[in-house]
Amino acid sequence: MAEEKIYIFDTTLRDGEQVPGCKLNNQEKTKLALKLEELGVDIIEAGFPISSPGDFQSVEEISTVIKNATVCGLTRAVQKDIEVAAEALKKAVRPRIHTGIGASDNHIKYKFNTTRENIIERAVAAVKLARNFVPDVEFYAEDAGRADLVFLAQLIEAVIAAGATVVNIPDTTGFCLPHQYAEKISYLVNNVKGIENAIISCHCHNDLGLATANSLAGAIAGARQIECTINGLGERAGNTSLEEVAMAIKKHPETGFTTSIDSTKLLDLSKLVSDTMRMPVQPNKAIVGDNAFSHSSGIHQDGFLKEATTYEIIDPREVGADVSKIVLTARSGRSALAFRFRKLGFDFTRDEVDELYAKFLEVADAKKEVSDEDLQELAVSLKTV
């Protein structure tokens, strides 16, 4: 099967940085941008230049240091926004302006107090203006997830005719189910004249915990760019998580998809983003959470120790983690206990492990997790009876 590249558009520095408490200074943004480029992302959304002088400077600085990835600046469909973004991106090797406007009736009525026709006019004008500055213009149809499909298709057709090279179909409120989001993308693929002249992009929020599933469903339906963030950071419940998309694609070659992400750098970058943004990663977070490669129940530990693939679909080294962890709790079994003792240098017989296991359970019932120090004490108690 011919491989189809899925372009990875990282918006950690824009949508991710909008999260309360995640604000970065220029140096931090530039450092992360360079790391994102090393990771292999295709497009770095560096910021929203008109939003503040600091963000303008960040986009400008990132534009100077990034040599391979496309550098993108966000704008509204507003002349001044586009002019300022073009200025901030002037030094970029591959600049992209990301402009757009609300597409759902809800946004058209409450945010813009206008008509669908006027939205198309403003969108077309914005794309044409942006194309005067850069050859690569991405258009976002905000709240496309809840937009009327026939109107969305008209809007997308108009902006492609105006010169948009990428059309972003955001599920801004994280509302869609995967099959609904996929149907939206399929509809555009099949009904928009000129769609072959643009890349369709997925930008899914995680309000229902479906952002990654929706983005993958969108790609299967024909999108070729996924917008995502490290650790899934982003407005409210966050965006599609980059590490989840990259690993889902890597683990499912039958999709025919490939990305340029070097997965062995994922864990380090996740930690760097978490530390720099002072935003802890939940322990059970897929791919990069502390527990992503930990086994704690007896049944799982026994299987894992016989053959890792019984309970692991990813070798931790694939994402830059050292080894899987065998955590000892009151739910652990004898094989895990013997394994941890062996790691500490104690090679006990089966009878000895049986005897130690009863004592271990007493400690484990009293504590959340049994440590190496606890095991040392247990081992000594056996030796001294």
Q: Which of 203, 285, 300, 340 binds ligand KIV (CB under 6 A)?
A: 203
Dihedral sign, Cα of residue 67, residue 279, residue 97, residue 152 = positive
DSSP H/E element including 88: helix 79-88
**Number of chain positions touching Zn ion (CB under 5 A):** 1
Beta strands in 205-248 (DSSP E): 225-228
140 binding partner (options ligand KIV, Zn ion, none; Cβ < 5 to 8 Å by kind): ligand KIV
In angstroms, the CA 374 to CA 381 distance is 11
The only residue of 7, 8, 13, 15 in contact with ligand KIV, by rule CB under 6 A: 15
Which of these segments, 165-173, 190-198, 243-251, 355-363, binds ligand KIV (CB under 6 A)? 165-173
Position 75 contacts ligand KIV (CB under 6 A): no
x/- binding map, residues 5-44, to Zn ion, per CB under 5 A? ----------x-----------------------------
Selected binder of ligand KIV within 170, 218, 232, 238 (CB under 6 A): 170
- 171 part of the interface to Zn ion, by CB under 5 A: no
Give me the least distance between CB of 239 and Zn ion, in Å please: 6
Member of 61, 81, 142, 157 binding ligand KIV (CB under 6 A): 142
42 binds, among ligand KIV, Zn ion, none (CB under 5 to 8 A by kind): none
Distances (CA, A) of 237 to 125, 208, 286: 32, 8, 15
State yes or no: residue 172 binds ligand KIV (CB under 6 A): yes
Q: Restricting to residues 295-354, which ones interact with ligand KIV according to CB under 6 A?
A: none
45 binds ligand KIV (CB under 6 A): no
- Binding mask 93-132 toward ligand KIV (x if CB under 6 A, else -) reads ----------------------------------------
- Comparing CA positions, the residue from 115, 69, 126 lying closest to residue 92 is 69
Separation CA 267–CA 153 (nearest Å): 39
136 near Zn ion, judged by CB under 5 A: no
Give the interface segment with ligand KIV, choosing from 20-28, 167-175, 331-339, 375-383 (CB under 6 A). Answer: 167-175
Encoded tokens for 298: 């007896």
- Backbone dihedral region for residue 369 (phi beyond 0: left; psi -120 to 50: alpha; all else: beta): beta
Q: How far apart are CA 313 and CA 150, in angstroms?
A: 41
Instruction: Assess contact for 226 and 9: CB atoms under 8 A.
Output: yes
CB of 203 to Zn ion, least distance (A): 6
Regarding 143 and contact with Zn ion (CB under 5 A), the answer is: no
Q: At what angle do helices 149-161 and 116-133 cross, to 10 degrees?
A: 30
- Quick check: 381 and 362 in contact, CB under 8 A? no
Number of amino acids touching ligand KIV (CB under 6 A): 8
Q: Could you say which of ligand KIV, Zn ion, none residue 45 binds, taking C-beta under 5 to 8 angstroms by partner kind?
A: none
Residue 140 as a binder of ligand KIV (CB under 6 A): the answer is yes
C-beta of 139: minimal distance to ligand KIV in Å? 10
* Separation of alpha carbons 94 and 207, rounded Å: 32
Total count of residues recorded for the chain: 385
Burial class (CB in 10 A: 0-12, 13-18, 19+), 349: exposed
Helix (H, G, I), strand (E, B) or coil at 296: coil
- Cβ proximity to ligand KIV: between 192 and 228 the closer is 228
Rounded distance, CA 73 to CA 138, Å?
A: 10
**Shortest Å, Cβ 366 to Zn ion:** 46
CB of 16 to Zn ion, least distance (A): 10
Q: At CA 101, angle to CA 200 and CA 187, rounded to 5?
A: 35
| Beta carbon of residue 85, minimum distance to ligand KIV (angstroms, whole number) | 13
How is residue 326 written in tokens?
A: 């065998």
Smallest Cα–Cα separation from 264: which of 229, 213, 315? 315
Residues that bind Zn ion (CB under 5 A): 15
Residues that bind ligand KIV (CB under 6 A): 15, 140, 142, 168, 170, 172, 203, 205
